[in-house]
Amino acid sequence: MSTLVIVGSQWGDEGKGKITDLLSEEADIIVRYQGGCNAGHTVVIGDKQFIFHLIPSGILHPGKKCLIGSGVVVDPESLLQEMENLRKEGVEIDGRLFLDPKTHIVLPYHKTLDKLKEKKRGKDKLGTTKRGIGPAYLDKIARTGIRMVDLIDEKSLSKKLEINWKEKKEIFNKLYGLKMSNQEKINLIKKYQEYGQLLKKYLMDVSLYLNQAIKEDKKILFEGAQGTLLDVDHGTFPYVTSSHPIAGGACVGTGVGPTKIDKVIGITKAYTTRVGRGPLPTEMQGEMEEYIRQKGREFGATTGRPRRCGWFDAVVVNYAVRINGMDRLALTKIDVLSDLDKIKICTSYKYDGKLIKEFPASLETLQKCIPVYEEMKGWKKDISQVTNYEDLPPQLKVYINRIEELTKAKIVIVSVGPKRSQTIIREKIFK
């Protein structure tokens, strides 16, 4: 076993950063395959907290190679800032971090458009992170986007930016009444040429490198961002991100064929959260939600927005198991539920008088679904220092067994706190 995809099973923020960092110990290469700096992956080491937006969460392990695949959209400004922050912490970047020249870049006008589009949508806004992700992917699909490879070719950058500028100028002017000056364009070209020069030495054909590494039986971790329910095809459209966080995205976004993927592990929160708008069937109300938010520190790692909180939804995780072909889960933040008398699990939805167990395609149907809950007794014990599965309270094992039964996936990791040491490993992940 040498290739493993780490994927979010819910709406993001499941603890992918923590688990990626943990498993990086045994890996040789860690690679991001989609998304951009909308991601916020937290790793806690001692009393220090690191939040990664573009750089893979394995970077804190000296010597490991960290790659950014072509499926990611890179904001050079944000990437350079992240690199700088890590250097200040004494983390070696050069010779370890590489990005694919085919990676599309996020430009300032993408971020402005993201904000303007949201504003225009008014009460129907999506609640994006305003990092320009949607508009950057839109340009990629429209075949007008600018890639890392263009930044290091002066002529190509000027030519492509010229075309984009013309189009964006019209959009800004006609739709939003905003003017874009020629000087702004000249400054932008100059700035991005400079970024190109700064990033040149980090460019590498990620697909070529990974496929060679696979031949050499190197251990590779594919680090997904966001989560299954935010996938543009399979998520709660239109309340999704513009990329493919699902396991299949790992192949598309790195240039590694599906026959080369050995395992998929779903990072799954013991309850559910979502930041931004869109349906969340098991959403809690009032005091209960506030309690979980405070206890679980459920505030966005990228935007600081309070996360909406809900009970564990087995319909959602079952769906993620199917879409990602995953048979293993890492259950995170179980410690957050430790003081509760009663814990609920949603086992199905009631819709139009019928019970449904499969996640519906229609948002309108989903919005009318009423969660059907099973109530379980809480374990009422601090488990944040437990490192052996056997030492967990029996009632917590009942909860874990029930989730395994409902999702038909094995919980191979139980995370009981944000630190590396606060983890119970039930099965060796890399064999």
Cis check for the bond before 238: say yes or no (omega within 30 of 0).
Answer: yes
Tell me the CB-side half-sphere exposure of residue 391, using CA atoms within 13 A. Answer: 11
CA–CA–CA angle 47, 36, 12 (5° rounding): 65
Count of beta carbons in the 10 Å neighbourhood of residue 389 = 14
Smallest distance from the beta carbon of 32 to ligand GDP, in angstroms?
A: 12
Task: Please state, in angstroms and as integers, the Cα–Cα distance from residue 255 to each residue in 131, 225, 246, 354, 389, following that order.
Answer: 25, 17, 15, 43, 38
> Which amino acids are annotated catalytic?
13, 41, 140
Query: Considering only 6-14, 64-72, 138-146, 389-397, which stretch makes contact with ligand GDP by CB under 6 A?
Result: 6-14
Does 16 help bind ligand GDP (rule: CB under 6 A)?
Answer: yes
Closer to ligand GDP by Cβ: residue 217 or 382: 382
Query: Considering only 13-21, 165-173, 177-185, 278-286, which stretch makes contact with ligand GDP by CB under 6 A?
Result: 13-21
Local structure of 343: helix, strand or coil? strand
| Candidate residues 230, 336, 392, 412; the one interacting with ligand IMO per rule CB under 6 A | 230
Smallest distance from the beta carbon of 201 to ligand GDP, in angstroms?
A: 28
Smallest distance from the beta carbon of 41 to Mg ion, in angstroms?
A: 6
Query: Considering only 39-47, 74-82, 173-181, 389-397, which stretch makes contact with Mg ion by CB under 5 A?
Result: 39-47
95 Cβ contact list (under 8 Å, min separation 6): none
CA–CA–CA angle 54, 58, 61 (5° rounding): 135
Does 332 help bind ligand GDP (rule: CB under 6 A)?
Answer: yes
98-127: contacts with ligand IMO (CB under 6 A) = 126-127
Please give the distance of CA 337 from its chain centroid, rounded to a whole number: 23
- Residue whose pair of structure tokens reads 């449904």 in the numeric block: 356
* Sheet strands (E) in 270-341: 272-274, 308-310, 312-313, 328-332
Bridge-based pairing state of the strands 3-8 and 220-223: parallel
| Candidate residues 42, 128, 242, 318; the one interacting with ligand GDP per rule CB under 6 A | 42
x/- map, 261-290, ligand IMO, by CB under 6 A: --------------xx--------------
Closer to ligand GDP by Cβ: residue 158 or 384: 384
The amino acid at 347: T
Task: Please state, in angstroms and as integers, the Cα–Cα distance from residue 336 to each residue in 291, 340, 420, following that order.
Answer: 10, 9, 16
Smallest distance from the beta carbon of 215 to ligand IMO, in angstroms?
A: 30
Smallest distance from the beta carbon of 44 to ligand IMO, in angstroms?
A: 15
Does 336 help bind ligand GDP (rule: CB under 6 A)?
Answer: yes
Measure the CA–CA gap between 150 and 215, rounded to whole angstroms.
30
x/- map, 365-404, ligand IMO, by CB under 6 A: ----------------------------------------
Rg (CA), the chain: 22
Angle, helix 154-176 to helix 108-121, in steps of 10 degrees: 20
The amino acid at 181: S
Does 13 help bind ligand GDP (rule: CB under 6 A)?
Answer: yes
Binding residues for IMP: 13-16, 38-41, 129, 143, 226, 241, 305
Measure the CA–CA gap between 65 and 220, rounded to whole angstroms.
10
Does 206 help bind ligand IMO (rule: CB under 6 A)?
Answer: no
Question: Measured on CA atoms in the order 44, 45, 51, 56, is the torsion positive or negative?
Answer: negative
Q: What are the tokens at 217? A: 């039986």
Smallest distance from the beta carbon of 12 to Mg ion, in angstroms?
A: 6
Q: What are the tokens at 63? A: 């010597």
Measure the CA–CA gap between 197 and 20, rounded to whole angstroms.
30
Q: With CB cut-offs between 5 and 8 Å by kind, which of ligand GDP, Mg ion, ligand IMO, none does residue 129 bind?
A: ligand IMO
Query: Considering only 122-130, 203-211, 295-303, 395-403, which stretch makes contact with ligand GDP by CB under 6 A?
Result: 295-303
Query: Considering only 98-106, 220-228, 286-294, 397-405, which stretch makes contact with ligand IMO by CB under 6 A?
Result: 220-228
Measure the CA–CA gap between 260 and 1, rounded to whole angstroms.
10
Count of beta carbons in the 10 Å neighbourhood of residue 98 = 19
Nearest CA to 146 out of 99, 103, 200, 181 is that of 103
| Candidate residues 6, 29, 33, 41; the one interacting with ligand IMO per rule CB under 6 A | 41
Smallest distance from the beta carbon of 360 to ligand IMO, in angstroms?
A: 19
Closer to Mg ion by Cβ: residue 45 or 355: 45
Binding residues: 12-18, 38-42, 129, 143, 226, 241, 301-307, 333-335, 415-417
Does 298 help bind Mg ion (rule: CB under 5 A)?
Answer: no
Q: Which parts of this chain interact with ligand GDP (CB under 6 A)?
A: 8, 12-18, 40-42, 44, 296-297, 301, 332-333, 335-336, 415-418
Q: Which parts of this chain interact with ligand IMO (CB under 6 A)?
A: 8, 11-13, 38-41, 126-129, 131, 133-134, 225-227, 230, 241-242, 275-276, 301
